[in-house]
Amino acid sequence: MDRYSEITNKNQREIVLLKSFPCVWGKCSFCDYILDNSKSEEEINKLNFKVLENITGKYKVLEVINSGSCFELPKATLDKIKDIIKDKNIEKLFLESHWSYKNKIQDMREYFEIPITFKIGVESFDYDFRNNFLNKNAKFKSVEELKTYFDSPCMMVGIKGQTKEMIDKDMDIVLNNFDHATINVFVNNTSDIKRDDEIVNWFVDKYKDLLDKNPNIEVLYNNTDFGVGE
C-alpha cells in the first residue's frame, strides 16, 4: 500500500493516505476501502506518524486523505499534521469529509488556520441514484446547500445503473458551479457494484479532452492515479 505521493500534473501537491478510525457511515454500496480502518488508536498514530515523515512541503500544498472523513483521524495525528504545516510552511490543505460532518467543517477550517479545499464524496447529483442506489447518505437537496459547507465534489462515473443523462447532468453541474472537482472512473472492487465499460468508454470519448485541459478538474481513470492506495 503506497501512502505517500506527489501529484505533479494539476494543482501540484503532496498527498498522504492515512489510517483512521472506522468511517462514520461505512455503508456506501460501492466502497471497500473501509477495510483500511482500524480501532487501535496506537496502531493508527504509529503508522500515520511514519507516513507524515515523508512530507517536505515542496509544493506548499498538502492533501490528507483516509478511508473515511478527516474527522475520523485521531487527535494526535491531526496535531502532527498541524505541526508539519507550520514546520514546512504549507499554505494550503485539501481534506475530505462525508456530508454527515457538515456542521463540523468550520471547526476544522479554524483548527488548521490555513485555507482548506474541503472535498466531499458526492458521487452523483442525482438524489435517488446517490442515496438509494449508492447508499451514500448524503441527503443535501441542492448545489447551493452543498456549497454552504464544501468546496469540491468527488464524482463517480461508470457504474452499472448510471445513465449517460445522469453523467451529462453531473458534468454540467461540476463545470458550472465549482472551482475544483475530482472525477473517479469506477474500477471494480470487492463490492457488489459493477463497472459499466460501455459507459466508461462513452465518457472517455466525450469528456477526456475537455476535462484533461481543465486545470481544476482532476480525473482518476484508475483509483491509484494519485499515487496512493493499492
According to the binding rule CB under 6 A, does residue 26 interact with ligand SF4? yes
- Nearest approach, Cβ of residue 100 and ligand SF4 (Å): 8
Q: Please name every residue paired with 117 in a beta bridge, in sequence order, or none if there are none.
A: 94
According to the binding rule CB under 6 A, does residue 99 interact with ligand SF4? no
- Nearest approach, Cβ of residue 31 and ligand SF4 (Å): 3
Q: Which of residues 65-84 bind ligand SF4 (CB under 6 A)?
A: 67-68
Q: What is the torsional sign of CA 133, 138, 141, 142?
A: negative
Q: Which CA distances in Å does 39 have to 22, 25, 81, 101, 130?
A: 7, 15, 20, 19, 28
Q: Please name every residue paired with 2 in a beta bridge, in sequence order, or none if there are none.
A: 229
Per-residue interface string for the shown chain with ligand SF4, residues 115-134, x marking contact by CB under 6 A: ------x-------------
Q: Which of 21, 33, 112, 186 binds ligand SF4 (CB under 6 A)?
A: 33
Q: Which of 23, 120, 199, 219 binds ligand SF4 (CB under 6 A)?
A: 23
**Rounded Cα gap, residues 18 and 15, in angstroms:** 10
Phi first, then psi: what are they for 171, rounded to 5°?
-65, -40
Q: Give whichever of 12 and 191 is closer to ligand SF4, judged by the CB atom.
A: 191
Phi first, then psi: what are they for 98, rounded to 5°?
-75, 155
> What are the residues binding ligand SF4 (CB under 6 A)?
23, 25-28, 31, 33-34, 67-68, 98, 121
